[in-house]
Amino acid sequence: MALPRLFDEGINETSPETIEELIERVLAYNPNADISILQKAYDLANGAHEGQLRRSGEPYIIHPLGVAGILADLRLDVASLATGILHDVVEDTKVSLDEIEKQFGVVIRELVDGVTKLSQMQFRQTHEKQGENIRKMIVAMGKDVRVVLVKLSDRLHNMRTLKHLPFDKQKRIAEETLDIYAPLAGRLGISSLKIELEDLSFRYSNPEQYYDLAQKIQKKKKERDKFIEDVRELIAREIKSRSTVQTDISGRSKHLYSIYKKMHNRNVDYDQIYDLLAFRITVGNIAECYEVLGIIHSIFKPIPGRFKDFIAMPKTNNYQSLHTTVIGPGGERIEIQIRTREMHLIAEWGIAAHWKYKEESRGTSKDIDGEAVNKFNWLKDLVSQHQGTNSSDEFLENIKGDLFESEIYVFTPKGEVKELPEGSTPIDFAFSVHTDVGSRIVAARINGKIVTLKHKLRNGDTVEVITSKTQTPSKDWLKICVTSRAKSKIRAFVKTEQRKRALDLGKELLERSFRKESIPLQKYFSGPKFEKLLKDEGCMSLDDLYIRVGYGKITPQKVIEEIVPDKIQKPEEEDLTKESFLSKAFKSAVSRSKKSASVITVDGMNDVLVRYAKCCVPIPGDSILGFISRGRGITIHRADCEKAYELDQARAIDVAWSKSPIEASSERQVRLKVMSQDKSGLLKSMSEVFATRGVNIINVQARTSRDLRAVSIFDVSVRDTKQLSEVIADLKKLPGVLEVERTSFAQD
C-alpha cells in the first residue's frame, strides 16, 4: 500500500542515480569541494562492483551512490562521501586497503577500514553478533565519528530498500534499527536521520499498526494543514506587533513513530492523543529566545510542568532549545520550540553540522570541529566504560540504556549539573561523579533528606552522596542502578572479587594437597613439567592455575599427577582421610557433571565443573545462584532456595544458564506436589498429562490427607522451566485438581 509522504524529514528520499547527480548535490553546499576525489572513488567502486546486483535486481553501485547521497544531505566533507562510495569494496571485492591508501591517502583508508571492520567479524549467535557490532561502532566513534555517520547512512539506505527482502529479515533488521541505530542517530543529534529510521523501522516491524495509524492521520491532513497555517500566522502577527525580533516560524505534525510511542506509553487510542502538532520558531540570539517565549505565554496558556529549558541545560548530544506546551486555538495542545538559527542547525544535523561549519569557516581561527568533539563527551565515556566488557550480550544491554534519550537533570551540592537516564538512583549519580565515590556510597541526601540507594532521582534534585571507607560495591547494586557506567564499574569489581576468592580457595586446596603428600610445593612449581601443565590448562601464571583449581576446572590431585607422578598413592594404599574423600568426591562429581557443565556459564566461562544442589534441584530457566564448593567445583542453587542463604556468601559467584541449545539428555529431576479431590481416575488423568507433554515419571507417591484430600507426589524429569510450566498448567486444568506446586526433595 503506497501512502503519500506525510512529514518533512529533512533528508532527500531520492538517491542520486549517477555520479554527476551526486557531484551536483555536493557543489550546492560546498562549491570548493574537490570533486575529482569523488569521481575517482566512483570509478574504482563501479569497476570493483561490476556484475554484482542488489536483491532488487539493480546494479550494486546504486547502493554506494545512495549512501553517499545521504552523506551529502548531511553536508559532510569529501572524505566522508568518498568513504560512502567505497564502503563495501574491501569486504565485497578484491580491492585492498593498500590500494585505497595509494589512490586516496591515509585518511580515507582509515575511514573505509573503520566501516569495513564494523561488519567483518562473524559470530555464532545473532544476538552476540549484534552486540559485538555495536561495541565496534562505539569504539569507532571514539576514533572518528565519521565512520559511524557512514554506517548510519548505509543502514538508512538499506532500510529504504528493505521491501526486497523476505518478511522475516525485514522484521529482524527493522527491530535492530529501532533498537540501536535510530537511538544512536538521536544521540548524535541527527534528528532528520533518526526520524526516518524510526518511521521505516515502524513500517516493517509493525506494518498493521503503521498503516492503520498512517491512514487515520491522512484523513485529517487538510484540516490539520489549515490549522497549522492559521496558528503560524497568528504567532507571526503577535510577535511582529510586540517585538522587533526577526523570526522564522514553521509547523508540522509529529512523525508516525513518535505518535505511536505516545499511544503505546499512555495506553490510549489515536483519538485520545492531543499534542500531535509542533511549531518551531528560530531567532537570532539567545536573548531573543526568551523574549519570544514570554510573548508565546502571553498569547497561549502554558501547561504546567511542560516547559523545558535545553538552552541553560543542553542535552548530551549538544541539542539546545526552549520547549513549551500550550493550549492553542480551539483547545488544541501544541508544542512550541524556540531556538537560534545555529541551534536549529545542530538540532537537525547534530554532530554532522560541525563538518559543514568546518567547510564554511575554512581559513578562520575558530575550530568548531574541535568544539564538537569536546561537547560529545559521552562518546569517550562509552568507549572507556565498555572496553573491558567481555560479554557482547552484557555490552548490548548496557549500551541500550545509554542510547535512549529519556533524561533527568540533577545537581551536585556545588550546583554542577549532572545528566542521567530517567530512573537513575543515587548509585548512578555517585558513579557519574567519580568511580571511588560510587564504590563507597552507603546512602544519599536528596534535597536535604536522607534516602536509600534504591531511591529514584527526579528532575531538579540536589544530590549529596554519603560514603564510607569500609563500603565496597555489591552485586545487588546491579539490580538498582541503570547507567552503563555504574554497571560496568560494579561488574568489574564483583568479577575481580570472585576471581580473588577462587584464587584463595585454589591456593588453599593445592597447598593442603601438597602438604598431605609431603611434597615441597616450591620445588615443583617450576621446570618443564610445570610449564607444560600451565600451557595445557591455558594458564599464564601460577595464579591462573590457582583460579582454575578454585573454580573446580582442575583437581589438586590432577596437578600433582602431572608434575610429580611418582608421589601419587596407588588406590589400594589410599586412606579415607578428609582430603582423599574430597578428591574422590571431586572425581565423582566430574563424572556426573560432564553434560551439566555445558548448560551453565560461570563468570562468562562455560567449561567449569558444576553440580546441582539436591535441596532445590534447579533446572534451565530457574533463577540461580552459584557457590564455590571445596573440591567440587560450583554448586548451583535456585535463587529462592532457603538453604542457599545459609551458605557462606563470600563464596557466591555469578552463574547463568548457557544460551546454547540444551539436549534432551540434559533433563533434570523435579518434584511436583498435586493437591486434589479424592476421586477415582484422577491419578490416571494426571499421568496422561505427563505422557502427552513427553515428561517421564520417575516415581509417584499418593496418599490421603487429614482433610480427605488426595496428595500426589510426582518425581519427573523435564528439560526446562518452560516444559515444567506447561505441565503444571495442564494439571491445573483437570477437574478435581485444587493445587499444583513444585517442591524441594527435602520438603516431602
Phi-psi region of 414 (alpha: psi -120 to 50; beta: other; left: phi over 0): alpha
- Residue 612's identity, in one-letter code, is Y
* Known catalytic membership, residue 517: no
- Residue 529's identity, in one-letter code, is K
Q: Which residues is 446 bridged to in the sheet?
A: 449, 463
* Known catalytic membership, residue 91: yes
Q: Could you tell me which residues come within 8 angstroms of residue 725 by beta carbon, excluding any fewer than 6 positions away?
A: none
Backbone angles phi, psi at 673, to 5 degrees: -115, 120
Number of C-beta neighbours around residue 256 at 10 A: 23
Q: Which residues is 421 bridged to in the sheet?
A: 407
Distance, in Å, from the CA atom of 489 to the CA atom of 493, rounded to the nearest integer, reads: 6
Distance, in Å, from the CA atom of 672 to the CA atom of 256, rounded to the nearest integer, reads: 50
Which alpha helices (H) appear in 87-125, and where do they start and end?
Answer: 89-92, 97-104, 106-120
Number of C-beta neighbours around residue 594 at 10 A: 9
Instruction: Indicate which residue of 17, 91, 113, 678 is catalytic.
Output: 91
CB 391 within 8 Å of CB 659? no
Coil, helix or strand for 305?
A: strand
Coil, helix or strand for 674?
A: strand
Q: Which residues is 656 bridged to in the sheet?
A: 601
What is the SS3 string spanning 189-222?
A: CCHHHHHHHHHHHHHHHCHHHHHHHHHHHHHCHH
CB 332 within 8 Å of CB 300? no
Grid cell of 613 as nine digits: 544442589
Chain CA centroid to CA 298, Å:
44
Distance, in Å, from the CA atom of 71 to the CA atom of 77, rounded to the nearest integer, reads: 8
Looking from the CA of 475 toward its CB, the CA atoms found within 13 Å total: 15
Instruction: Indicate which residue of 8, 43, 92, 642 is catalytic.
Output: 92
Distance, in Å, from the CA atom of 42 to the CA atom of 39, rounded to the nearest integer, reads: 5
**Between the CA of residue 371 and those of 223, 318, 358, 368, 380, what are the distances in Å?**
44, 11, 11, 5, 14
- Rounding to the nearest 10 degrees, give the CA dihedral for residues 234, 236, 238, 240: -150
Active site positions, annotated: 91-92
